[in-house]
Amino acid sequence: MFPRAAPVFGLAKRATASSSSTPASVSVLVSVANTRSYSAPVGNAIPPAKKKYVPTRGSYPQGFRVGGVVVGVKPNNTTKPDLAMIVSDVPCTAAAVFTKNKFQAAPVTFSRDLLKKSPQVQAVLINSGCANAVTGKGGLEDAAAMAAAADSATGGSGTIVMSTGVIGQRLPIQKILDGVPRVYAGLGSSHDHWLATAKAICTTDTFPKLISKTFTLPSSTTEYAIAGTTKGAGMIHPNMATLLGVVATDAPLAPAALAPLLKHAVDRSFNSITIDGDTSTNDTVALLANGVAGGKTVPNDAASPDYIAFQEVLTDFAAELAKLVVRDGEGATKFVTIRVTEAASELDARRIASTIAKSPLVKTALYGKDANWGRILCATGYSLISEPGEAEAATPSIEPTTTNVSFVPTDGTAELKLLVNGEPEAVDEKRAAEILELEDLEILVRLGTGQAEATYWTCDFSHEYVTINGDYRT
């Protein structure tokens, strides 16, 4: 379960998004006598339906300067920023969560080793356009050279490096090294600087992902800020999705507190989203805290009110960032929350939510606006089964006669029950169609076998997804 024990202390969202009322569809469906046509997104403009997710201002943490410049990691890129830098004016503490993929990219290996030695860093340097993954010893040298160039620019010590883009190719390292003094010279703390940073880490994302907030902690009236950027799943040959995220705050945190706080937040955010179930070689989410805003240091004590309050701020913040990745899922037309409750254990709840969230049958049904509860039930039913050859797992969480499945509309209207205690409801198809027309939807599975729960966020599976990932020449 995800405890919500603490009240939210003065969580204020200042970064107002510009609401757009343009249509939600980014692909065009045309009926032509028994065939359906669609078009892939064209150009680099932000799709009208996604503009509302890009803030026009924000409240950013003190003592951080950021920026992004064009260095042309991909030879044909001359316009999109592809080198980002985030620098703390004073040495700050950092923690990071890395991919569990067994084939880890060079920047993952480098940054993991760096943080093992010391949690104190000064900067994060990120390039897009090339993932520096499966690049052997030379790739590790490139990652180290990036960090050294950044250290040299900041005069400090300790730079986390991240890369995202093409796998299996070496970085154009000289271009990046030459770019470091340039990006450093242009750093700043304005909204535009943060937006440039968010843009520079994008690959095939259709919009930059940036959030900022202010908050207070119970022990003082000091106003803190937290800001972060992430990039998500966009793969066009020969790219590979690599989720990256950086979150920076000016709150003072005990160095030892960062890792548990970040892990708690990531498990409930970046580790609870899926586009297609593929976990990349480069996934990295880092948290930086420089304490520049002053006040009492948040101790590494999970019982401390300040710790509890910051944990909630960070977890909600990370979830909000992670959801932006799902909103920009390849070809996605829907944003779907999968909530599994009343499970015998949180791990079971997570596995069931994850299985439903990944099922191609569920995801294509959502795309087709089809209230196909049978597929949701089916995914639930096979979520805990074992491979042949493996001992059969006990599955106390799943009991057909206590299982309930509902659609929960996001417009505040009543839930639509599809399955009640294992018995199908006579579904009001008109009502189901109304709910499925909404861009946002929650699928609620109540297992009736315990008190644990988990939430996943996913998107639908569209023709566009296949086009983006299959049409290698486009």
Binding residues: 203, 231, 242, 330, 469, 474
**Secondary structure class of 123 (helix, strand, coil):** strand
Among positions 228-257, residues that touch its own copies (CB under 8 A) are 235, 237-238, 240-241
Task: Give the separation between CA 424 and CA 214, rounded to whole angstroms.
Answer: 46
- Nearest Cα to Cα of residue 197 among 255, 133, 124: 124
- Nearest Cα to Cα of residue 254 among 119, 65, 62, 124: 119
Q: Which is nearer to its own copies, 159 or 311 (CB)?
A: 311
The 396-415 site mask, x for binding its own copies (CB under 8 A), equals: --x-x--x------------
The 307-346 site mask, x for binding its own copies (CB under 8 A), equals: ---------------------------------------x
Among positions 119-148, residues that touch its own copies (CB under 8 A) are 133-134, 136
Kindly state whether residue 3 participates in binding its own copies, applying the rule CB under 8 A: no
Among positions 336-395, residues that touch its own copies (CB under 8 A) are 346-347, 350-351, 354, 358-361, 364-365, 367-370, 372-375, 377-382, 384-390, 392, 395
Q: Could you confirm whether 242 is annotated as catalytic?
A: yes
Question: Interface with its own copies by CB under 8 A: which range of 175-183, 196-204, 311-319, 465-473?
Answer: 465-473
Among positions 163-202, residues that touch its own copies (CB under 8 A) are 167-168
Kindly state whether residue 430 participates in binding its own copies, applying the rule CB under 8 A: no
- Cβ 413 to its own copies shortest distance, Å: 22
Options 159, 242, 337, 355, the catalytic residue? 242
Query: Residue 55's Cα: distance from chain center in Å?
Result: 17
Residue with tokens 């018995």: 423
Question: Which burial class, exposed, middle or buried, applies to 419 when counting CB atoms under 10 A from its CB (0-12, 13-18, 19+)?
Answer: buried
Number of residues that bind its own copies (CB under 8 A): 86
Q: Which is nearer to its own copies, 310 or 461 (CB)?
A: 461
Q: Is the C-alpha dihedral spanning 215, 217, 223, 229 positive or negative? A: negative
- Cβ 134 to its own copies shortest distance, Å: 6
Reading phi first (left if > 0) and then psi (alpha if -120 to 50, else beta), residue 10 is in left
Q: Which two tokens stand for residue 175?
A: 């271009």
Residue with tokens 């701020």: 313
Residue with tokens 């086009």: 467
- Cβ 80 to its own copies shortest distance, Å: 21
Say which amino acid occupies 306: D
Contact 357, 456 (CB under 8 A): yes
Catalytic residues: 242
